[in-house]
Structure 1
Amino acid sequence: MKFDLHTHHYRCGHASGEIRNYIEAGVERGLSVIGISDHSPFFWSEEDQYKPGIAMAKSDFQNYINEVLALKEEYEGKIDVLLGIESDFFPEHIEIYKQAYEKVPFDYIIGSVHFSGGKSIFDKTLFHETDKKRKVEIKEEYYGLIMESARSGMFQILGHIDAMKGFYPAFSEIATPEVETALKVIGECGIAIEVNTSAKNKDAEGWYPSDDILEKALYYGVDISFGSDSHVPERVGDEFELVCKKLKEIGFQRMVYYKKKQKQIVKI
């Protein structure tokens, strides 16, 4: 059984195509399940669409929900369309986000840390002119937020948990016990992390997270989900079979997705 829970579309401002295009791509690629999970609005901002090239407008949020639910009905019997969202995690704004989500019939919410220490994790200058000590501090700040996001109770899946390596591949070599501590916390919270195949579009190439993190995730009993993080329909389901192969080599026997926020088991 093939599934993909991490897809975007035009509303976020940096992806192309309609939601329907991604669903059709899922059908063509033999997916049984496709999750739509565009970037959440910046609910805490007074502006309707803060950073238009990053996330959807607050005024478009309900339109997004309505469209996914309508397409879910339309494609019933062809492919299971799930309503998700990729939510930013800002610890100081947790209640604002919880209120925005509480009445929405999400199948799942992906919690992603995109900002740490006041900067985007994809800021190409993040590690410029920083000494070894500061690099460790930056990495530990990032994993501190990931741990908070796991404990928040808001999410079923945590997105791309080593995405800070996107434009700084040496990130993986920065040694700190916080990575393993974070995985232990995630396992205790009973939520999943995703294997995200979009790193191939950045300097890091490959996938998020690294094999080393996946091996530790297995040790701590962390479930694995899958997301292409596709921003074009052509990438829907990208490398799903290769991910399954790698997970089996590491020792995983299953993957998971979520429907009505309930964990669904897929044997691999």
Structure 2
Amino acid sequence: MKFDLHTHHDRCGHAQDKIRDYIEAAIAGGLQAIGISDHSPYFGSPEDHAQPLIAMAKSEFPRYIEEVLQLKKEYEGKIDVLLGVESDYFPEHVDVYRQEYAKYPFDYIIGSVHLSGGVSIFNRNRWKNLNDMQKIEHKEEYYRLIAESARSGMFNILGHIDAMKGFYPAFSDIPTPAVNETLKVIGESGVAIEINTSGKTKDVGGWYPSHAMLEQALHYGVEVTFGSDAHIPSRVGDDWEDVSKTLKEIGFKHWVYFKNKQKQVVPL
């Protein structure tokens, strides 16, 4: 069974085309399930549309849900359309986000850390003029937030858990036990991590997380899933076969997706 749980569309302000275009691309690519998971609004902000080039407006969120549910019905029998959302994790706003998500029948929620220490994880300038100890501190703060998001119980999947390397490839070589400690927490929490193939669109190339992290994830019993993180329809299912092959080589026997918040096991 072929699936992709991480896709975006034009509501977030930095992706192209409509939800239907991603569903049609999934059908053309031979997928049996396609997850729609656009960026959640900034529910912690008093503004309706706090970040128009990053996430949808709060007022748009119910329309997003309604459209996905309509398309789910329309495409029934052709492809399984799954209702998801990619949620930021802000510890100070956990209750607000939890209350908003409880209103809707999500198949799954992806929890992603995009801001660490108040700075975007993709901001390459954050690394300038830092000494080795400061770089370790930045990496450990990032993984502290990821571990906390795993423990929160809000998420079924954690998104791109080493994406801080996207525009700073040397990130992977910063030494700290925090990575393994976080994978242990994730394994104990029962939350899955995605193999996210959008790293190939960034300076680092390749996937999130690294093969070395996937080997450690297997050691700690972490479940894995697949997400292209497509921001254009042509990337739906991107590298799916290669990811499947790599996971088998590492030693994984299955991967998972989620429907009605229930884990569905797919043999590799």
Normalised by the shorter chain, which TM-score bucket? Answer: over 0.9
Cα distance in 2 for residues equivalent to 1:189 and 1:45? 29
Alignment of 1:26-175 (within 5 A): 26-175=26-175
Corresponding position of 1:193: 193
Cα distance in 2 for residues equivalent to 1:107 and 1:191? 14
Cα distance in 1 for residues equivalent to 2:180 and 2:104? 33
Q: Secondary structure at the match of 2:147?
A: helix
Q: Secondary structure at the match of 1:184?
A: helix
Q: How many residues of Structure 1 are paired with residues of Structure 2 in the alignment?
A: 268
Runs of 4+ in 1 over 4 A off after TM superposition: none
Q: Secondary structure at the match of 2:49?
A: coil
Cα distance in 1 for residues equivalent to 2:209 and 2:45? 30
Counterpart of 1:232, as a letter, is I
Counterpart of 1:255, as a letter, is W
Corresponding position of 1:250: 250
1:181 aligns with 2:181: yes
Cα distance in 2 for residues equivalent to 1:56 and 1:120? 18
Q: Secondary structure at the match of 2:92?
A: helix
Cα distance in 2 for residues equivalent to 1:178 and 1:237? 31
Once the 2 structures are TM-superposed, how far is the Cα of residue 126 of structure 1 from its aligned partner?
1.3
Cα distance in 1 for residues equivalent to 2:28 and 2:95? 40
Q: Deviations over 1:26-50 (max 9, x none)?
A: 0000000000000000001111111
Counterpart of 2:231, as a letter, is H
Corresponding position of 2:223: 223
Q: What TM-score, normalized to structure 1?
A: 1.00
Cα distance in 1 for residues equivalent to 2:13 and 2:100? 21
Percent of pairs identical after alignment? 67
Q: Secondary structure at the match of 1:125?
A: helix
Counterpart of 2:19, as a letter, is I
Structure 1 unaligned runs (5+)? none
Q: Deviations over 1:163-213 (max 9, x none)?
A: 000000000000100000000000000110000000011001000000110
Cα distance in 1 for residues equivalent to 2:27 and 2:206? 25
Q: Deviations over 1:139-164 (max 9, x none)?
A: 00000000000000000000000000
Counterpart of 2:196, as a letter, is N
Structure 2 unaligned runs (5+)? none
Once the 2 structures are TM-superposed, how far is the Cα of residue 100 of structure 1 from its aligned partner?
0.5
Q: What TM-score, normalized to structure 2?
A: 1.00
Q: Secondary structure at the match of 2:125?
A: coil
